[in-house]
Every structure is written in C-alpha cells, then in structure tokens.
Structure 1
C-alpha cells in the first residue's frame, strides 16, 4: 500500500515544467517594442520610394508588365524555397487573392503610372493609400471611423502633394488611372492581410513567397500576350531588376507583411507617406531638384502626420498587432504563430 501511494504522488510535480516552457515564446514576442516594429516596417516604404527613379533611369521603357513580372516571380520562388511551406485549404484562395491585389495588379499598375507620369505625380497618387485604408478598415474590419485617423491621412496626403507637385507636373489620363487603381488594389490587400493574418506555423517569408509567386504566375501569360518577348538587358537594367526584386520585393515585403500583423492597420498605412517623400528626396540628391518654401511646409506636414499617427489610437496596454480576427470584431487579435 505504501509503495502504491508513493507512485501516485510523484506525477503531481510534472505539469509545472511545460507551463514554464510555454511562456517563453510569448515573452520573446512581447520583448520587441512597438517602436522597433514600426522602424522595421518603415524600411519597406523607404525602399519602395526608389521605384520611380529605378524605373525611369535603369529599366528599359515600354515594358511595365515585364518589370512587374521580373520583380515578382524570381523573388517569389526564392521566398518559397526559404519558407518551405505551401498554402492549403482556404489559404489557396486567400494567397491567390492577396497575390493578385498586392502583386499581380499593383506591380504593373505602379510601373505604368511611373512611365506615364512625373515621379512626383505618381508618388502623390500613392500617398492617397492611407485615406483608402481608413475607409476600408471601417467596411472590412468593422473599425470605427475615428476623426484623428482621417485627419492624419488627409494632412499627410496634402503634405506629400506640396512636396512633390510643382508647376511643371504633367498629367496623363492613363497614368493617373493606373496610379489610383494601383493604390486601391494595394490598400485592399493591406486590409485583407490584416483581417486574415497568417496560418499557424507559417513564417512571414512563406507568406511573401505565396503572394509574389501567385502574382508572378498571373503576370507571366499576360506579359507574353501583351508585350511579347522580354526586352534586351544590359548591366544597368539587370541591376535595376535585382534591386526591385530582391530588396524592393523579397526583403521589403517580408518586413512589411510581418509588421502589418503587429501594428494597427491605419498606423501601418500612414508609414506609406515615406515612399513619396523618399522619391522627392532622391530627386533633390541625384537630379538637382530643390525644395522651396511650399515643399518645406509639405515635408513638415507629411512627416508630422506620419509621426503623430503612430502615437494615438492604440488600446492601453494592448500588444502590438492587435487587429481583427476572422470575425472582424473590433479589438480582436490576429493569430500569432512563432516566426
């Protein structure tokens, strides 16, 4: 009897060990401050701001579809190899949808806009994205339309307009239509990325691979039908495609989608103002352009809206990444698989 009692007592100390181990992943996730997540997210729009300069100065003109294909498909295949996961079930549809919105539609529309408009005008159309995200967040994520969100989005877009638009800015109907359509496509992709999150156990690099590959596979037959064979390459164009694909595609999108899962969607979208500001800065540094009083005012407004937009609207004590669950309830959380 005494020996049987002893065997029953020993298991009582076992459950304590898994409990301590299970807390470590959550502690590691909480260890990264919101400011650090925001700084990593800002890398993406800063790199995307170089797209206009690279498109006009490095890539062969008249091939926007091939530029989108070259930026998407090779980087997507590399990301698939690194992520080592393929979409299953409902994620087959979700990955294809996000791939079309964020890549397949957005990339060629971006390059069409960049070819048909001055870089400043094209960048200003992209600055309207936070405005679109504000309203889509209400419709798709069931968030409340808060005045501060709308105010910062309007202020930032106006500031970007002051910075990059000048008297010599030219308008082209096709370029404007492509720029606005691309902005709307990417905005919807951002909101759906926030709504759906990531499947359990899938790393951000795998999600990027799904979207880049889906968008690239969509563009492959369209490019061959519309533009025919690829243009003639030289060292300059190869360098441009590599920059857009590996840095502006693979690396930037991996950080961007990772950060969207941890930042409020409107706060993340306000970082998009960095892209046209980077485009304008490169014009000053590399093309001899200059800032007048109006451009300086716009720079202050855009940076102020972006920075102040990072300070307000968060839930007290909330963790980075509080977004919407599959049900779209305000204050819900995205699933947080280990990276």
Structure 2
C-alpha cells in the first residue's frame, strides 16, 4: 500500500521549492544570496523550535548528532555556496535544468550504496520527469555560448546536486532511529550557524536594517514555507525511498514557471505545457509498478 501522506508531503516540497524560487527572485538583489539564505533558514528554524521544545526529549548519541549537523550544513550551506558560485558563470535556465537531475543523482547514489534496488518503472519514471523538466526549459536555453569559465559553473552546480542527493540518501538511518522533528530542527540550526559566518562579508547586518516591509513580508513567507517544507521533506524520507521522494522535486521548476505567469507576467510556452504533462506522466509511471525493494535493514534501524 502506498503511503499517500508521505507522497503528499513530498509533492508539497516540490511545489514549495518552486514558489520559494519565484519569491526569492523578487528580493535577492536587495538582500544578497547568502544573506537571504541565512534569513530564510533562521526564520525556518524559529518555526520549528517551539514544536521541538514542546516535544518529548530525544537523546542523540554524540556521533549521530554530529552526523545530523553535518548533513544539515551540506543540505543548506554547501549547496548554497556551490549554487551561487555556479550562477556566476551559468545562466539561471541552465542551472535549473542541471539541478533537475537531482532525482537521477539520488537514484544512482542510492543504488550504488545498496539502499535501493532499481526497477524498470522507477527508472523510466525518473527519466520521463527529467525529460519533462528539459522540455519546460528548452525554450529558455537558446542563448549564445557562455563566456569562458562555464565549465567551472557547471562543475559547481553538479556538485550542489550531488551534495543534495547524498544528504537525501544519508539522512534515512537517522530518520529511522529518531523522530523527524528533532532531526530537522537540529540540521537546520547547524546550517544557520554556518550561513551566519558566510553572510558577514556580504554585510548582512546593514542589510537587515534597511529592508522594506514588503521585502520582509516576502522573506517571512520564504522562511516559514521553508521550515514547513524541510520538515515534510525529512518526514517523507523516513517513510519512502529517497529516489521516490526526490522525484517530486521535478515539480519545482514547473511550479516556478506557472507562478511566473500569474505573478510576474511571464509567458507560458507550449514547451512548458508539454513539460508539465511529461512530469505528471513520469510521476505516474514511477508509482505504477510495485514498491521498490530496499536492502535489508539492520536491527538498529527500526521503521517509524
């Protein structure tokens, strides 16, 4: 039987990522990329802390606590730095298309580590989703060759994708040993500490003082939705294989395109519509077959 609450949680994350991307575009020039990330996740962790303190205490081993913190830093700090560096050399459309390989990277990494076994329907579904994202962005990729150094940007963005895929796969043992809420709160808190140091050279202190009420409203929306989405993301990872969870990230560029039409007066091209149809078809294909068989779990990893 499919875990429909987990499926809904994963789909919610895919939609939220697209919505947050559109919102971030509206304020990133005023705030700065690293400062925006810091404010986004600082608000997100503040949303989680009241529930964290109200929940029963969970005792982490020192080793597990360090691992969760490291994964949180990778999920936000490392990915943010690599993406921002990559965008210095690569157009946003090319970056979005490469980041859409997230499910494929996760599938291959999970299979290489023996966490999941590949099935024909899952492989085909992920491939169709990726093709759909490519169709949706194809009309935006007809630009002249980028200036020298593009390969550095490509390497950075693919490094960000690989980091995110690795975190998605490696989170699972800790989500099976501990409740989702403390894992998500501690991981995001660790990332905020690192981002605080990275945002200092960008002048985050002065930026916070000069932001308008409208900009703060957008940042608060991004932060609250990010905290909620991260909890949904880890909750889904604790109940579904990482490949099936990350495939829903294919909804993010489609969501961004649709919201761009509604909020930014952008044009929705036939290729974007075709891409949306392909992504929906890919999700259906990925879930049409039997559930993938995971490698046997040790007794120290009880199911949630």
| Structure-2-length-normalised TM-score | 0.83
1:53 deviation in Å?
1.5
Q: What SS does the corresponding residue of 1:278 show, helix, strand or coil?
A: helix
Match of 1:39 in 2: 8
Contact 2:123 2:286 in 1 (8 A): no
Distance 1:139 1:127, change over 3 A: same
Counterpart-to-counterpart distance in 2, 1:282 and 1:53: 7
Work out which of the residue numbers 211, 219, 223 in structure 1 matches 2:187. Answer: 211
Distance 1:115 1:302, change over 3 A: farther
Structure 1 residue runs without a partner (length 5+): 1-29, 316-321
Task: Give me the CA root mean square deviation.
Answer: 2.9
Counterpart-to-counterpart distance in 2, 1:205 and 1:237: 29
Counterpart-to-counterpart distance in 2, 1:128 and 1:309: 15
Match of 1:235 in 2: 213
Distance 1:48 1:101, change over 3 A: same
Match of 1:20 in 2: none
Distance 1:228 1:241, change over 3 A: same
Match of 1:57 in 2: 26
1:176 deviation in Å?
4.1
Work out which of the residue numbers 160, 181, 197 in structure 2 matches 1:221. Answer: 197
- Which aligned pairs between 1:117-156 and structure 2 lie closer than 5 A? 119-156=92-129
Counterpart-to-counterpart distance in 2, 1:116 and 1:243: 29
Structure with bigger RCO (C-alpha 8 Å, 6+ apart): 2
Structure 2 residue runs without a partner (length 5+): none
Counterpart-to-counterpart distance in 2, 1:290 and 1:334: 48
| Structure 1, 74-83 or 90-99: larger mean CA deviation | 74-83
Work out which of the residue numbers 189, 193, 208 in structure 1 matches 2:171. Answer: 193
Counterpart-to-counterpart distance in 1, 2:87 and 2:301: 35
| Structure 1, 287-296 or 132-141: larger mean CA deviation | 287-296
1:55 deviation in Å?
1.9
Match of 1:161 in 2: 134
Q: What SS does the corresponding residue of 2:29 show, helix, strand or coil?
A: coil
Alignment size in residue pairs: 292
Q: Which has the larger radius of gyration?
A: 1
The answer to whether the aligner puts 1:282 opposite 2:251 as a matched pair is no
Distance 1:198 1:90, change over 3 A: farther
Contact 1:117 1:175 in 2 (8 A): yes
Contact 1:324 1:333 in 2 (8 A): no
Contact 1:194 1:334 in 2 (8 A): no
Distance 1:187 1:143, change over 3 A: same
Write 1 or 2 for the structure with the bigger share of helix.
2
Counterpart-to-counterpart distance in 2, 1:195 and 1:325: 12
User: In the TM superposition, what whole-angstrom CA distance separates every residue of 1:204-224 from its partner, at most 9, and x where no partner exists?
Assistant: 222111111011111111221
1:35 deviation in Å?
2.1
The answer to whether the aligner puts 1:255 opposite 2:224 as a matched pair is no
Q: What SS does the corresponding residue of 1:49 show, helix, strand or coil?
A: helix
| Structure 1, 39-48 or 72-81: larger mean CA deviation | 72-81
Counterpart-to-counterpart distance in 2, 1:188 and 1:145: 17
Distance 1:261 1:229, change over 3 A: closer
User: In the TM superposition, what whole-angstrom CA distance separates every residue of 1:164-212 from its partner, at most 9, and x where no partner exists?
Assistant: 2325655573654443222221111111112432434x3x222111111
Counterpart-to-counterpart distance in 2, 1:183 and 1:66: 21
Match of 1:89 in 2: 62
